[in-house]
Structure 1
Amino acid sequence: MAKSRSFSIFLLKEGYDATNALREDHALDDDIGAQGLPDGATLFVLDSEPRPPWWKPYFGIEKNLTQVNKGALVFLPVGERCFALSFGHVAHNLIDSSYEYDFGLRVTLNSLDPQKLKSTDTLDPGAAKRQRTQLPIESELTLFDFDRDSTILRSLTGKVRDEHKELFRHATGGSNLRISTDIESDGLVALCEQLLGLYQSEQYKTAFPEIQNIVPVRDPAQIAALNGRLLEAFRARNPDLNITVPEIINYSDNLYVTFAGAGRGLVYDDVYIGRYYDYLDEHEADLSAMGIEDLRRHALVLTDEDGNARDRYSVFKSLVFDTNLEGAQGETFHLSEGHWYRIDDGYIARLVAYLDPLCVDSDLPPYDHPSEGEYNEAVAVDNPAIACLDRKNISPDGQSAVEPCDLLAVRDGIAAFYHVKVSTLSAQLSHLFNQGVNAIELMRLEPQAVDRLEALTREALPGADADTLVALIRGRNCRVIFGIVTRKDPAARSLNLPLFSRISLMRSMKALRLMDVQGNVIFIADQVAAAKGRKKKRKKKEAPAEAQPAAAEAAE
């Protein structure tokens, strides 16, 4: 039986090949002889010098220990396209924009048995949440808790259909295709030809119809137009444009952030689009002259406490943005991880039809306070019939804290639970919506949570008002109101929210209806004077604050 080998395959975009798909600073050697390369293939090899592992001096190990990194990239022309085959950890030498990001996923969807899936990697762009789900037995997609309404499927693993078993046995697809096959090197061209056919097939729409609400944009002309809208928003410092780390990160590593591409940058302890604008202003960058390639060249850099670079991401890949295009009536486009996605027309219409009636006029005063907490306290002080329960906890002993709401009041004979958020960022709004659902769910399931809520209510309000609220709560006569502080026009209703926040909101509203609870959204007028974001410098024990720019020099 032939030995099975595992490697990764990338499909390069049209116009890319071995001459232009590698980063300029790559350390691969192309002057290596090889007798078994397919005709027309080009080989690049990583052959690093031996070096001791980091833990050798850490423990003072005396034995001579070394380790090396080996790898190879093979560029293989197939028809008018070119594939890149990666062996070892060398694929990061490819330019981000040089390969088809959905190649591996589409091939996998077209080749896997839909009843024999093993693992999924998903992205919820609304909350910027990444998740890997694995099951011990082969299963269908629905058992992986895949939410077709709000989740982008980034990677899928499983067994291939019987008709493809001669090509490969197992496949994992994302941007690239990771396969295990016993095909020899002289069969790679034929393999890639069949993979190209699988990529171009639309059979997956029958096997996996539930992933069609969110689809990638592939039309170059449309992508160029969308990038133009992005640049307009960037140059205007549009508040709907945001930035985030585009990968799963370990927050226990005490990571910090800086920027690179225009010069040295300060080290910050948070990721915020205002930091990037501050960085550009510091270096007197002309935003009107910057283009997409500048955003690709500039980097968001994660560093350690000393400012040493740990991970580096293109700013373009880190941006999050929703927009529309002229001539694309009813279509909404979302930028995530450097790629544009089109949301199904009918689905957008269903979102508007469902959510707009739930957006009502605000019955809370305008926001003009330093923080959400101070606003909530002020509202309760001005109206003694409203209880401020911000940062209170109704969870039973031993469970994670759950805040019942920010403000609690009687509205039209119903106990109204107000959840207030000063933001229209998708991740923060998704947290807000989940908070509202979780609080009601806890009160439905845990009598002790209702008892604690009653105690908090009686502590915050005078007798008669508290009696009324407690009776409504125990009678399950409740309403959840999400109060969003914004400068946007309330007349726009649900369109004031980012796309994936609307999707998250609809999911939360449906969850509330299942518990027989009405949900609404109000837009609270933001009357705080606009202020420029301030740089928050990282504190150092032995170096003065002025030395911080030097600490980030490694990020350049």
Structure 2
Amino acid sequence: MAKSRGFSIYLLKDTFSNENALKDDHNLELLSEDNNNLPNGSIMYLADRPGNAPWWKNYWGINKDLYQVQKGALIFLPVNNRWVVLTFGMTYHQLKDNCYEYDFGLRTTLNALDPKKIKSTDILQPENAKRQRIQIPSASSLNFFDIRHDESIIKKLTGAVKFEYHDLFKNATGASSLRISSSLQPNEIIELCNRLIEIYDKTDYIQSFPDIQNIVPVKDPDRLNILHQKLLEAFRDAPRELVLSIPDIIDYSNSFKVKYNGAGRSNTEYEDIYIGDYRNYLEERNITEVNDINAFYRHQMAIIDENGETIKQYNIYKSFLYDCKIEGISYHLCEGEWYEIDSNYIQKLEKALNPYFIDSHTFLHNCDKAREDDYNISVRDANTDVLCLDKTNISPKGQTAVEPCDLITVLDNKINLVHVKISTRSSNLSHLFNQGVNSIELLRLQEESREKLKTLVEENPMFCQLIDNGLYTVTYGIVTKKTGHSEKLPIFSRISLLRAVNSLKIMNIPCSIFFIYDNVERKKIKKED
């Protein structure tokens, strides 16, 4: 029986081939020998550089010659007017970020997998770039992984394939690339890749995973051009909706800093990921405007360790997070890919959320403060029956601090917990909405939390009595210049809000959302978020 071997497979976009898919500064060597088993028309590049000594050799004063040597290869295969790339070792880093179909591995896997035999998932929540890997010891259906399809994007999936594909491979892992093991011989690899492209083009996944269509990648080149122009405008106008994020799972237990390059060298290091620092870098290089989307591909965000060594590096385009709306359709940019949000789903969100929005409020006045804490104090000072609990804590001893609310009062003979946030940035609002739910859960489940809240409001006996009775309402106050209802929030904030109000509804907690008009010209304030 032939030995099974692992392959990592990329499908290049129509406009890319071996001639333009590699990075300009790649260090691969073109294979020139003739006597080999490569299929006709294929092209191989090798990674065959002398290795460096590991850092710990000199650290421990070891004299013996030690070298870390990494070998690798990258093969371009012509398959029915397309190019497929097989990568071995770390050579996939030599491919341009925009040269391959980002959904090839995942979509092929979704079409090929047995829906009841999934083993592992990597998911991304675009609203805050939160990543999570879920693994189980035995294969199961996707429902077992408790994935919320309306707010998460599946980035990687591993499982056993349907019986009809067992002649090709038994298991598959799909992300941007497809990882499989196969016992096929070199002269059969072209046909394998041809079959994989056929699987990729199928729509079987719609039947197997129907909810996955709420969020889909944008592939139409004309639509992408429009979205690119929208992105350039956003970078020029600097809305809060456009931010930078590390497009990968990062180990935050290790210290790191950030540097930018691609438009000229800079020795400036930054402590965190902030789009304003990238703009500062461009200004240092005398670049006042970016009019070409390709500049975001050339410019790099480098994550460096304490010794200044690069851990990972990403182009700026891949690091953007951005929500926008064009011709009534909502889009989200994440990890270099644009996603279209299903219109019916958008309507469903608005229908579910709009009844919770109120057009006026009894004490949440317009905001003329730069800081949230100052605004909360101003509301307290203007209303004798309102207390400010900003920066207080009701979590049980030894647990992570949980703020009960920013402002507290009595409304309709119930304790009204008011949570305030300046900004309609998606990740900030997600924190706001989760805070409202977490606070109620603690007060309902933990006597210690209720006692802490009663201590905070002990000057008002009525508050304490209502807390003992478990009677609450929640109000979310969002400081913004926007007017309207849920349609004014970023798409993933709406999804997060729906999850929050549904959780409160289950607990029989009335909820309302109010837009607090923002009188402050915040473009004159350095943005810390």
Instruction: State the TM-score, normalizing by the size of structure 1.
Output: 0.90
Deviation at 1:320, TM superposition (A): 1.6
- 1:5-84 aligned at under 5 Å gives the runs 5-33=5-33, 35-84=36-85
Alpha-carbon deviations, 1:290-315, whole Å to 9, x = none? 21111111122223346543322111
State the alpha-carbon separation in 1 of the partners of residues 49 and 428 from structure 2: 44
- 1:104-503 aligned at under 5 Å gives the runs 104-265=105-266, 266-287=268-289, 290-305=291-306, 307-326=308-327, 329=328, 331-360=329-358, 361-362=360-361, 363-458=363-458, 462=459, 466-488=460-482, 490=483, 492-503=484-495
State the alpha-carbon separation in 1 of the partners of residues 455 and 347 from structure 2: 44
Any stretches of 5+ residues in structure 2 without a counterpart?
A: none
- The one-letter code of the counterpart of 1:244 is S
Deviation at 1:444, TM superposition (A): 1.6
Deviation at 1:6, TM superposition (A): 0.9
State the alpha-carbon separation in 2 of the partners of residues 388 and 470 from structure 1: 16
Deviation at 1:284, TM superposition (A): 2.9
State the alpha-carbon separation in 1 of the partners of residues 175 and 388 from structure 2: 47
State the alpha-carbon separation in 1 of the partners of residues 94 and 291 from structure 2: 25
Q: Are the counterparts in 2 of residues 359 and 522 from structure 1 also a CA contact under 8 Å?
A: yes
Q: Are the counterparts in 2 of residues 298 and 315 from structure 1 also a CA contact under 8 Å?
A: yes
State the alpha-carbon separation in 2 of the partners of residues 49 and 13 from structure 1: 33
State the alpha-carbon separation in 2 of the partners of residues 444 and 414 from structure 1: 14
- 1:530-549 aligned at under 5 Å gives the runs 530-532=522-524
Change beyond 3 A, Cα 1:187–1:294:
same
Q: Secondary structure at the match of 2:38?
A: coil
Pair 1:523-2:515 in alignment: yes
Q: Secondary structure at the match of 1:252?
A: coil
Deviation at 1:531, TM superposition (A): 4.8
State the alpha-carbon separation in 2 of the partners of residues 63 and 180 from structure 1: 38
Q: Which has the higher contact order (CA 8 A, sep 6+)?
A: 1
Across the two proteins, how many residue pairs are aligned to each other? 524
State the alpha-carbon separation in 1 of the partners of residues 265 and 368 from structure 2: 36
Q: Who is 1:509 aligned against? A: 501
Q: Who is 1:545 aligned against? A: none
Change beyond 3 A, Cα 1:322–1:294:
same
State the alpha-carbon separation in 2 of the partners of residues 106 and 81 from structure 1: 17
- The one-letter code of the counterpart of 2:277 is R
- The one-letter code of the counterpart of 1:345 is S
Alpha-carbon deviations, 1:394-439, whole Å to 9, x = none? 1222332221111111123321111111222211211111111111
State the alpha-carbon separation in 1 of the partners of residues 218 and 516 from structure 2: 35
Q: Are the counterparts in 2 of residues 5 and 181 from structure 1 also a CA contact under 8 Å?
A: yes
Q: Who is 1:544 aligned against? A: none
Q: Please say which of residues 259-268 and 505-514 is displaced more in the overlay.
A: 259-268
State the alpha-carbon separation in 2 of the partners of residues 416 and 478 from structure 1: 6
Deviation at 1:195, TM superposition (A): 0.1
Q: Secondary structure at the match of 2:98?
A: helix
Q: Secondary structure at the match of 1:105?
A: helix
Q: Who is 1:547 aligned against? A: none
- The one-letter code of the counterpart of 1:332 is S
Alpha-carbon deviations, 1:173-207, whole Å to 9, x = none? 00000111111111100100100000000011101
Q: Secondary structure at the match of 1:56?
A: helix
Deviation at 1:370, TM superposition (A): 4.3
Deviation at 1:532, TM superposition (A): 4.4
State the alpha-carbon separation in 2 of the partners of residues 384 and 114 from structure 1: 59
State the alpha-carbon separation in 2 of the partners of residues 337 and 279 from structure 1: 21
Q: Are the counterparts in 2 of residues 387 and 409 from structure 1 also a CA contact under 8 Å?
A: yes
State the alpha-carbon separation in 2 of the partners of residues 29 and 271 from structure 1: 35
Alpha-carbon deviations, 1:86-140, whole Å to 9, x = none? 1111101000110000000011001111101100000000121011000111111
Deviation at 1:158, TM superposition (A): 0.6
Q: Secondary structure at the match of 1:143?
A: helix
Alpha-carbon deviations, 1:231-260, whole Å to 9, x = none? 222222233322222112222322222322
Deviation at 1:341, TM superposition (A): 0.6
Change beyond 3 A, Cα 1:207–1:93:
same
State the alpha-carbon separation in 1 of the partners of residues 479 and 283 from structure 2: 28
Deviation at 1:447, TM superposition (A): 2.0
Alpha-carbon deviations, 1:331-388, whole Å to 9, x = none? 2111111111111111000111122221213431333334322332333233332122
Change beyond 3 A, Cα 1:437–1:119:
same
Deviation at 1:455, TM superposition (A): 1.4
Deviation at 1:481, TM superposition (A): 1.1
- The one-letter code of the counterpart of 1:333 is Y
Q: Secondary structure at the match of 1:96?
A: coil
Change beyond 3 A, Cα 1:53–1:305:
closer
Deviation at 1:529, TM superposition (A): 3.9
- The one-letter code of the counterpart of 2:92 is A
- The one-letter code of the counterpart of 1:209 is P
Identity of aligned residues (%): 45
State the alpha-carbon separation in 2 of the partners of residues 306 and 60 from structure 1: 19
- The one-letter code of the counterpart of 1:283 is R
Alpha-carbon deviations, 1:57-87, whole Å to 9, x = none? 1222233322201000000000111100011
Q: Are the counterparts in 2 of residues 122 and 151 from structure 1 also a CA contact under 8 Å?
A: yes
Q: Are the counterparts in 1 of residues 370 and 522 from structure 2 also a CA contact under 8 Å?
A: no
Any stretches of 5+ residues in structure 1 without a counterpart?
A: 537-556
State the alpha-carbon separation in 1 of the partners of residues 172 and 277 from structure 2: 40
Alpha-carbon deviations, 1:504-534, whole Å to 9, x = none? 1111111110100112211222233435466
Q: Secondary structure at the match of 2:87?
A: strand
State the alpha-carbon separation in 2 of the partners of residues 143 and 474 from structure 1: 38
Deviation at 1:5, TM superposition (A): 0.8
- The one-letter code of the counterpart of 1:275 is D
Q: Are the counterparts in 1 of residues 262 and 299 from structure 2 also a CA contact under 8 Å?
A: yes
- The one-letter code of the counterpart of 1:42 is I
- The one-letter code of the counterpart of 1:447 is E
Change beyond 3 A, Cα 1:389–1:221:
same
Q: Please say which of residues 518-527 and 69-78 is displaced more in the overlay.
A: 518-527
State the alpha-carbon separation in 2 of the partners of residues 378 and 535 from structure 1: 22
